[in-house]
Chains A and B, each alone.
Chain A
Amino acid sequence: MLIIDCPWCGKRPEIEFRYGGEAHIARPADPSALSDEEWAEFLYNRTNPKGLHAERWRHIHGCGRYFNAVRDTVSDFFVVTYKAGEQRPENLGPDVDGASIGGDK
């Protein structure tokens, strides 16, 4: 069970959260303008990287908020979590998620 650092509540165990899939896939402003290929790309295609992955989580048994995280999918360790709507932090180092527990905000 991972420890996840909710940007609003701090570190909590994984069972308080629900995974929300890849982050930063914005719904097109006008879906009707998209070709079937483009719509399928939005709807179904995923990066699914082996390594750093920007993804959504919802603190469903907590504040209820969606937020984003970058996690290393090989180690499952988080690099950073950040609020929905914020840009994915750049130049992230390797999967150093030092303060995995304790140090509550």
Chain B
Amino acid sequence: MTNRFRTPSGGRIDRATPVSFRFDGKTFTGYRGDTLASALIANGVHLVGRSFKYHRPRGFISAGSDEPNALVNVVRDGARQAPNLRATQVEIYEGLKAESQNRWPSLGFDAGAVNDLFSPFLPSGFYYKTFMWPAGAWKRFYEPKIRAMAGLGVAPTLPDPDRYTQNYAHCDVLVVGAGPAGLAAALAAASSGAKVILVDEQAEFGGSLLSETTAIIEGKPTADWLADTLANLAAKDNVTLLPRTTAFGYFPHNLIALAERVTDHLAAPGADLPRERLWQVRAKEVVLATGALERPLVFPENDRPGVLLADSGRTYLNRYGVRPGERAVIFTACDAGYRAALDLKAGGVAIAAIADLRSELTGELPTHALKAGIDVRPSTVVTGTSGRLRVSGASLAKVKHGTVGPSESVACDVVLMSGGFTPSVHLFSQSRGKLVWDGAAGAYLPGTSVERERSAGASRGLSGLQRVLEDGYAQGEAAAKAARDFTSPARGQTPAPAESSRSIPASAEDLGTDGFIGATPHSRNPAFVKAFVDWQNDVTAKDIKLATREGFRSIEHVKRYTTTGMATDQGKTSNMNALGIVSEALDTPVPQIGLTTFRPPFTPTTFGIFAGEARGDLFDPLRKTAIHDWAAEHGAAFEDVSLWKRAHYFPRAGEDMHAAVARECKAVRASVGLFDASTLGKIEVVGPDAAEFMNRIYTNAWAKLEPGRLRYGVMLREDGFVMDDGVVGRLAPDRFHVTTTTGGAPRVLAHMEDFLQTEWPDLDVWLTSTTEQWAVIAVQGPKAREVIAPLIEGIDLSKEAFPHMSVREGRICGVPTRLFSVSFTGELGFEINVPAEYGRSVWEAVYAAGERFGITPYGTEAMHVLRAEKGYIIVGQETDGTATPDDVGLGWAVGKAKKDFVGKRSLARAAFSAPDRKQLVGLRTTDPRVVLEEGAQIVTDPSAPIPVPMLGFVTSSYNSAVLGRSIALAMIKGGRARIGQKLTVPMETHAIEVEVVEPVFYDPKGERLNG
């Protein structure tokens, strides 16, 4: 393939390095430095996509990130596919593969284009008006069809193997945009010593300067000035340059989010490199030098491949050495059309005519064009174009006194259009700065700031290279100064116009601020004309007029009804023209139509950079106990409990969970078991007022608990519902060792701190989280005492000296311990607290000491079964945030004599003594083999009509190997009064008969606790 449209010389591409790539299966050649767009145009390819709705053939409109049409899927390999990338931003590399989208079977012949024929029946909002008949057809027929038609590219189907990373940075001055204003701002700020970050979305810094061939800056050709400036900046230690980096979001307190594309432009990215990188930059001051975007003109058939923005056409020529066509018609409302025409003419493109909306041509550029012999036609519009997959002609007509005359057809293969420039105020608006409509400029410009930022250059409506450069320099100086004197508030102020201390003489034509907003006039029947406002979403001028006719008057309504501005360019090409059309249709000035909100991101931003490395094991912190590795080595299956991995059960060869749990439970009841309880939350409550504090936080009374004793405590939220529970040991008059549920520890500590700090600052108490400090080894079963006795020093383990619910300090295996005599199984039991770093060695010592008794490690499942056999609740399983202490049989733990504690007042409310409150009971299935489903509901009459009145539900249910039958706990309305009743658990296919029983199934007298 040839580069037929490549100029013989010029441009910034590297002509010494040809690059071959594939587009839709065909191989092409470009040069290093080309984008996919420039390389395709060099090969004469303009047809690159199909529109969303009508599947109209589409070409490139722009040369940058505002491109709405030329979206491609770039395929590196099966898993590395990225849909909807703009060909105007994709840098080619050797072997790049890209595919067009939204077409079948091919881009040239797309069956979906039949929609275009039916377009008269598919105006904006057509789907709201139809597809409602017959009932059900929407879901079965219409919607699937519409969905299949919608969408642009195809989502990848394999997990993305690439990495994404995240950086955080601080700086004095962040400069967004490295065009003339941004470069000057960075220079100024950097020279003053400020720490500067300069970012630009393009591969090369320079912005509009990259398309500049004739301008002289400070006596140098633009390219030389640019090279010197970049070298100067790169040499400074206080400057960070980030090309290929989009500032996509402006968040409160000057937090700017940047997306850096690291490897997409590389043929063979190193494995060490992330594909993209998210930067979160906290800047003292921000300079927004985001430039301006050229506006298309809205005229009939302005969407044919070959119709593009004038300045983009010039960019293709000057920056990439590519002629966008051989014979151009220019349609312009400003001098940019002339600048493009003159450059293109010099580059070998024939200029068929310049149609200028304006009647008076006074500027320098029109004069040059006339001198150059170009056919310049003032007061002239383009009223249509011809061609199928590429524009082949344009119709030009004079406008006299508002009337469009007869049109004349002019042959061409490219139409360049320019409606003027719209300042890029996206980030300013995201920062919540107030935009102000400038009637003279015909644009919204930055007004009052909210954050510490200032706009520079074209983004605040300036034109003329020298003015822009000097403004950039001035804003950079001002920003650096403001960053130094970091005291004066920036809120609510418009940055004072700054004066540059440096003159930066530059010779280039000033394009001024002429332009046009809205749809250009034509004399054709508007009903049958498509003049596109939003190319990608196929929104035409008549769609917008229809919306206004149907009562959609706010621009937000128009946007939503027509979908204008909702395409992947988010209105960059369409918003202002849509505003103009609404303004004209409603005969209302533009500022009264409103403006849609600028939302992040500035351009579409890869999900992967937000997620970064947070996947798999790094998705959430993973907490492991000191004994975790031992459990893993002994074959434990683990379960997730909040952030912890807990040993669920310890299957032996050939055992399933059921068998393992049955064996573990039996071992505990018959001899002894070993359980890792380290995940229990632990808080040390210390201080002279510790007992008073405990009294206020817990429902229980603590004053009389003697040091050396344990007590089961219940904690309520202030609204009266059970929040957490746990065993608390009093080690000394002023010291409590509090335990909480595994998941509840942070919540409980926060709750305690809240009351201690803000309600009772008078209490002299310290709270310390000790969850991680202690490993907790539960030894449970009739042989528990015999197992640990040989290992313990300094504690009398006898029943008399160390009764159930006591705590002693001593040593085990030479390691300090807090030894609890406590049981969550109903058996004689101890919980050995040792410093976590000794957890595994003490565990192993206990295991060894227990071998002669067949000591059996057991997991959380067996723990659950054992405690359920005893009717011990688990907060979060029996309670669900709507249970009171009395509901779950803990009324005894509520200190009735206490004047107050957190939650007490709420218990006195009407609902808390309602007779139909659910209460904890046990359930026995009539058939002992049937294990109820946890969560199953309980009713009296399963054959009652829907809605079937429900009495409650099963909270816990297990097969008890020890009892040889199933057991269950349940919350049932008025449950305690129903003990002895037969009720039904209705399942989807059958009903299960149950009897309500006391919630203690094993050793109801508690005789085994003492061994």
Contacts and interface: CB of A to CB of B under 8 A. Distances in A.
Contact of A39 (B254, B432, B488, B905): B905
Interface residues of B, number: 35
A65 B170 CA distance: 26
B910 A36 contact: yes
B491 A95 contact: yes
A64 B905 CA distance: 28
B491 A43 contact: no
Nearest to A21: B754
Given A1-B255, A20-B754, A60-B750, A103 B761 contact: no
A67 to B, nearest CB: 9
A102 B486 contact: yes
Contacts of A18: 750
A99 B492 contact: no
Nearest to A33: B905
A54 to B, nearest CB: 13
B249 to A, nearest CB: 11
A58 B906 CA distance: 26
B989 interface: no
A31 B753 contact: no
Given A31-B905, A66-B757, A84-B761, A100 B750 contact: no
A97 B719 contact: no
A31 B719 contact: no
A2 B491 contact: no
Nearest to B757: A66
A60 B405 CA distance: 73
A66 B450 CA distance: 28
A32 B489 contact: no
B947 to A, nearest CB: 29
Interface of B: prevailing SS: loop
B754 A43 contact: no
A26 B755 CA distance: 11
A76 B486 contact: no
Contacts of B761: 84-85
Contact of B251 (A1, A60, A101): A1
Interface in B756-794: 757-759, 761
B319 interface: no
Nearest to A84: B758
A30 interface: yes
Interface string B653-677: 0000000000000000000000000
Contact of B757 (A43, A84, A96): A84
Nearest to B759: A27
Interface in B723-768: 750, 753-754, 757-759, 761
A2 B252 contact: yes
A32 B492 contact: no
Nearest to A18: B750
Contacts of A66: 753-754, 757-758
A94 interface: yes
Given A43-B719, A64-B753, A95-B491, A101 B254 contact: yes
Interface in B888-915: 899-900, 904-906, 908-910
A17 interface: no
Contacts of A94: 492
Interface in B491-505: 491-492
B432 A75 contact: yes
B284 interface: yes
A43 B870 CA distance: 36
B254 A34 contact: no
Nearest to B910: A36
Interface string B862-906: 000000000000000000000000000000000000011000111
B490 interface: yes
A83 to B, nearest CB: 10
Interface in A44-90: 56, 58, 60, 64-66, 75-77, 84-85
Nearest to B903: A31
A63 to B, nearest CB: 11
B600 to A, nearest CB: 14
B659 to A, nearest CB: 44
B264 interface: no
A15 B87 CA distance: 38
A76 B906 contact: no
B318 to A, nearest CB: 41
Nearest to A31: B905
B253 interface: yes
Contacts of A26: 759
A60 B754 CA distance: 11
Interface string B174-213: 0000000000000000000000000000000000000000
Given A1-B255, A39-B905, A43-B906, A98 B488 contact: yes
Given A1-B255, A20-B754, A85-B761, A97 B489 contact: yes
A32 B719 contact: no
A84 B755 CA distance: 12
A101 B750 CA distance: 27
Nearest to A76: B252
Contacts of A75: 252, 432, 450
Contacts of B759: 26-27
Given A1-B255, A101-B253, A31 B489 contact: no
Contacts of A60: 750
Contacts of B905: 31-32, 34, 39
A64 B490 CA distance: 31
A34 to B, nearest CB: 7
Given A3-B253, A34-B905, A97 B486 contact: no
Nearest to A39: B905
B597 interface: no
B157 interface: no
Contacts of B452: 100
Interface string B483-521: 000111111100000000000000000000000000000
Nearest to A95: B491
A94 B450 CA distance: 12
B718 interface: yes
A17 B718 CA distance: 22
Interface in A1-15: 1-3
B486 to A, nearest CB: 5
B282 interface: yes
Contacts of A56: 758
B434 to A, nearest CB: 12
Contact of B490 (A32, A84, A98): A98
B489 A58 contact: no
A39 B282 CA distance: 44
Nearest to B172: A102
Contact of B908 (A27, A32, A43, A76): A32
15 contacts: A20-B754, A31-B904, A32-B905, A58-B753, A75-B450, A76-B252, A77-B491, A84-B757, A84-B758, A96-B489, A97-B489, A98-B487, A99-B487, A99-B489, A102-B284
10 tightest A-B contacts by CB?
A98-B489, A31-B905, A100-B253, A3-B253, A66-B757, A102-B486, A96-B489, A27-B759, A96-B491, A66-B758
Given A1-B251, A27-B759, A96-B491, 10 more contacts: A26-B759, A32-B905, A36-B910, A39-B909, A58-B750, A98-B487, A99-B487, A101-B254, A102-B486, A103-B486
Interface of B: 251-255, 280, 282, 284, 432, 450, 452, 486-492, 718-719, 750, 753-754, 757-759, 761, 899-900, 904-906, 908-910
